[in-house]
A = this chain, B = another copy of it.
Amino acid sequence: MIPERQLIEAIRRAATKTVNPAVIFGIGDDCAVLQMPAGLHLLVTTDMCVEDIHFRREWHPAKSVGHRCLARGLSDIAAIGGEPLACFLSLALPTNLPQRWVSEFMAGLLGLAHQFKTPLSGGDTSAAEKITADIIVLGKVPASEALLRSKARPGDLIYVTGELGGSASTLRQLYLRGKKAAKAGDRHFYPMPRVAIGRWLQKNKLATAMIDISDGLSVDLGHLCEESKVDGVVSLKAIPVARGADLSLALHGGEDYELLFTAPKLAKLPRRIGGVPITEIGEIRARSDKKTTVKSIDSVGLLKPLKPAGWEHFTKK
């Protein structure tokens, strides 16, 4: 392991390539200093990646771990309709970790940061037994126009971007057949946060509520409906299932980082936004009970509860 001071200097040098006018002073002082134009709200999200919980060193190349780490944070900004401004990284590393692993992790993270004009602007380092990376992403959105989870209304239709279950399908292959089963370039290893679609929906004021699918459709639709105090009904035959996946993976598999949003019935949504398909998958209803329920409806019209069964780390134990 390289000493902390050298690590910070190396990261500082590598991070200078990416700039964002919001960042006045990045790595190198007690705090980073940023400026926010008037009329905007600031967005903040944090996401923690822990070795053997969120990734395995034998399955995930270091570059993928760095990419996925930042992708999670950018996806949260996308899910509000925001534009990312800067990121921060707290990184705890085993002392015997090869320097090459760290370099490739940083290359994966900084590559995505550059693509999204989100400079790495500060953070912290520590020793640890397991690799632990906490990513913080700051973003902006026009004042009072954040697309929250809580604004879905009965009668709204439910939409998703892209296809679901692809990431979980790769994960299943990794479990069953080990590293060789995986195609290195696929969406599980290098997910693309839907920032442009989130921005488009926010600017065009078509969506009422939005969330990203990080834990799985069944879990995340549950979150959206709970925060909005409504029920949700999903049509099983409408779910866009990714190639290699099945309906169960599409309903419950996490880490696709697609967007799930609601829009009024009369809103005219395009079939694609930025080339990505937009699929209507169900509708929001008034609560039938004091508690939110999410149901699925099959091809013959049978309604069944859609129980949240996604990748929630603690409940799996």
Binding site for B on A (CB under 8 A): 1-5, 7, 24-25, 28-36, 38, 41-50, 53-54, 76-77, 79-80, 82, 86, 88-92, 95, 121-130, 132, 134, 136, 138-139, 141, 143, 146, 148-150, 210-212, 227, 312-315, 317
13 extra interface residue pairs, beta carbon distance < 8 Å, beyond A1-B317, A31-B43, A48-B126: A3-B314, A7-B314, A24-B41, A28-B227, A30-B212, A32-B43, A33-B80, A44-B122, A46-B134, A47-B90, A124-B134, A125-B314, A129-B129
Question: Which residue from B7, B42, B89, B132 sits with its C-beta under 8 Å from A128?
Answer: B132
A126 touches B53 (CB 8 A): yes
Question: Which residue from B30, B41, B134, B315 sits with its C-beta under 8 Å from A33?
Answer: B41
Question: Which residue from B38, B42, B53, B127 sits with its C-beta under 8 Å from A34?
Answer: B42
Q: Shortest beta-carbon distance, A211 to chain B, in Å?
A: 6
Cα–Cα, bound, A35→B89 (Å): 23
- 6 residue pairs from A and B, CB less than 8 Å apart: A2-B314, A4-B312, A30-B212, A50-B132, A128-B130, A132-B132
